[in-house]
Structure 1
Amino acid sequence: MENFVIRVKTKLGQQVVDGLSATDSVFNLKAKLAELTGIRSDALHILSGFPPKVLELNNENVTLKEIGISSGSTLIVEEKPTICCNGTEKNEIKSRPHISDTENFTNTPGILMKKIVPADNSCLFTSVGYVISGQINPDCSSFMRQIIANAVAADQSEYTEALLDKPNDVYCEWILKSDSWGGAIELSILSKFYGIEIAVVNSVHGNINRFGEDQCYSHRVFLLFDGIHYDPLYIEPLDGGPIQTMFPTDDDRILIEAAQLAKDANSSRQYTDVQTFTVKCMECNIHLSGQVAASQHAKETGHMSFGEIVI
């Protein structure tokens, strides 16, 4: 009997699962993944395919073949939020019907809109989580931070002090902190991990920066960046149906809309001027005005952690 060889991506890196076959059940798969990752089988959150889609694994008697897992498949394994004793999630996840399969959606009329996420220093990670799952889930940030730290630590020739603006090991420790901001480096790593192009609509410069553009990924997602904060973009259908956050990279319709959104946001000054915005040093609680002041404070004190001040 031919065994399946399945690639599994977790926050600890990529591993291989073998010893399974097409006729093995979902129960067997979950047992294998629980053993591999240390996550309880009932807390497994599994995504598969490109773009990543959540696998429904409630029926543990169906076979791997029946749910579309074949040899060579790549699974992204995360941990579901903790469930409290009263049956509610530890961190409430706000969601609505979400389409991740775009085959029958690309011609549906809709409006490109911004979904506002919390300004809690993890807005980049929350935004990426939203365009993948259609949910605002603050818990996803720690998972993504670990992904990034592991990727950087594993390739010190690529992620040098010159690129990171701090020693490799210092950066890895820094990015794991909940008050550390993400940017271009983190977006490029997450683009590769999830296998999607991430297009960032920059309202400061009125342009779009595309991460993973040269990787020929099949799908693209959009974020809006105003100088210090990221929010995800999505299509709100005119018929009130499910939202869409992923789009084929060979369909430039949404890309053109996003480019116009960037220009409109720039012309109407819907961005934060990094020369005058205010942040707080999370280590000594000093308020600093502008990027230059924050950089100077970091050089003088060695403090590397700054937080958004929400007005």
Structure 2
Amino acid sequence: MLRLRCKTKNGSHVMQGLTHQSCVQELKSKVEELTGIPCEVQKIMVGYPPSSLDLRNGDAHLKDYPIKSGDTLIVEEEKNKAKLGTHPIVTKTPRLNALPTLARRVVPADNSCLFTSVNYVVEGGVYDPACAPEMRGLIAQIVSSDPAAYSEAVLGKSNEDYCAWIRRDDTWGGAIEVSILSKFYQCEICVVDTQTVRVDRFGEDAGYRKRVLLIYDGIHYDPLQREVPSAPPQTVFSTGDDVILAQALELADEARRKRQFTDVNRFALRCMVCQTGLVGQKEAREHAKETGHTNFGEV
């Protein structure tokens, strides 16, 4: 007997009465019964990151699919498959327009996009372009207060040098800073990468109940928000909301297909101290090690 959990954006349901010998059509009928989403417009995903199941053959057995007892199936409604006149609740235009969507909220590329983006999501969608100096100072204070945890081996430079470096308005934030901010705000920060279409979850094992999302293209961060017509955007989600992660990965995959990312191994840089031209992160790191110059700009 298969014991599965069926999860949608509106909640989750325990699904029983299926076995590995059950056919695909039985599964889809169970999903429709629990969620109200008609069989022909169901998109069913499983695993992490979630991947869609090809369920076009209704007579196929579930044993032929990567589904095992205890799995959570993520179910979404595929709007573009709706058939006019078949299921009014699906095909009514007002109903479709009211569905929430996950979207990128673009912030300036001013060397502080990470800090602006994190502040935006943790504050519930409040854009404050002046927040970066305060957040840089907060990180420096946290790092300087615990030199054992934030040693040169972790930071790549001495604790003192790092604190002076992160306070500058021309330095970029990255994984270290996201990890620190996750602990400070007591929330999971998920960074979705548009080049690799993966999600890095900072604070995943800390037991936090809140989750916020950023999208990253190789050099720039933007916040993600759920948009509903005639309502404020939502930027804080439950850590149990796997549907929002699936939507974020779909958004990243769409950006990848449109080549909306920067290959950090090939993009052109210039050292703003000595004006040397460089290509990619590797040359930038080597140049910084040889010269001590750490101020780079994209060409």
What TM-score results when the alignment is normalised by the length of structure 2? 0.64
SS of the aligned residue for 1:224 comes to strand
The higher-RCO structure (CA 8 Å, 6+ apart) is 1
Partner of 1:272: 262
Partner of 1:110: 100
Asked whether 1:174 is paired with 2:165, we answer: yes
Which sections of structure 1, spanning at least 5 residues, go unmatched?
1-107
Deviations 1:208-265 (A, max 9, x none): 001111111111110000001000011111x232111111112222111112223333
Q: How many Å apart are 1:165 and its aligned residue?
A: 1.1
Instruction: Return the alpha-carbon distance in structure 2 between the equivalents of residues 279 and 153 of structure 1.
Output: 30
- Matched residue type, 2:291: T
Of 208, 228, 232 in structure 1, the residue corresponding to residue 199 of structure 2 is 208
Q: How many Å apart are 1:144 and its aligned residue?
A: 0.9
Q: What value does the CA root-mean-square deviation take over the aligned residues?
A: 1.6
Deviations 1:63-101 (A, max 9, x none): xxxxxxxxxxxxxxxxxxxxxxxxxxxxxxxxxxxxxxx
Instruction: Return the alpha-carbon distance in structure 1 between the equivalents of residues 279 and 161 of structure 2.
Output: 25
Asked whether 1:153 is paired with 2:151, we answer: no
Runs of 4+ in 1 over 4 A off after TM superposition: none
Q: How many Å apart are 1:308 and its aligned residue?
A: 4.0
Partner of 1:121: 111
Of 214, 239, 245 in structure 1, the residue corresponding to residue 235 of structure 2 is 245
- Matched residue type, 1:176: R
Deviations 1:257-284 (A, max 9, x none): 1122233333433210112212332323
Q: How many Å apart are 1:300 and its aligned residue?
A: 2.0
- Contact 1:196/1:221, CA 8 A, preserved across alignment: yes
SS of the aligned residue for 2:192 comes to strand
Partner of 2:121: 131
Asked whether 1:300 is paired with 2:290, we answer: yes
State which structure, 1 or 2, has the greater radius of gyration over its C-alpha atoms: 2
- Matched residue type, 2:188: E
Instruction: Return the alpha-carbon distance in structure 2 between the equivalents of residues 249 and 141 of structure 1.
Output: 26
Asked whether 1:282 is paired with 2:262, we answer: no
Deviations 1:134-168 (A, max 9, x none): 13222111111111111111222211212111111
SS of the aligned residue for 2:226 comes to strand
**Identity in percent:** 53
Asked whether 1:228 is paired with 2:254, we answer: no
Partner of 2:210: 219
Question: How many residue pairs are counted as aligned between the two chains?
Answer: 201
Instruction: Return the alpha-carbon distance in structure 2 between the equivalents of residues 170 and 272 of structure 1.
Output: 28
- Matched residue type, 2:181: L
- Matched residue type, 1:119: A
Moved more, 222-231 or 156-165: 156-165
Of 253, 256, 266 in structure 2, the residue corresponding to residue 263 of structure 1 is 253
Instruction: Return the alpha-carbon distance in structure 2 between the equivalents of residues 122 and 234 of structure 1.
Output: 19
SS of the aligned residue for 1:295 comes to helix
Instruction: Return the alpha-carbon distance in structure 2 between the equivalents of residues 232 and 162 of structure 1.
Output: 30
Which sections of structure 2, spanning at least 5 residues, go unmatched?
1-97
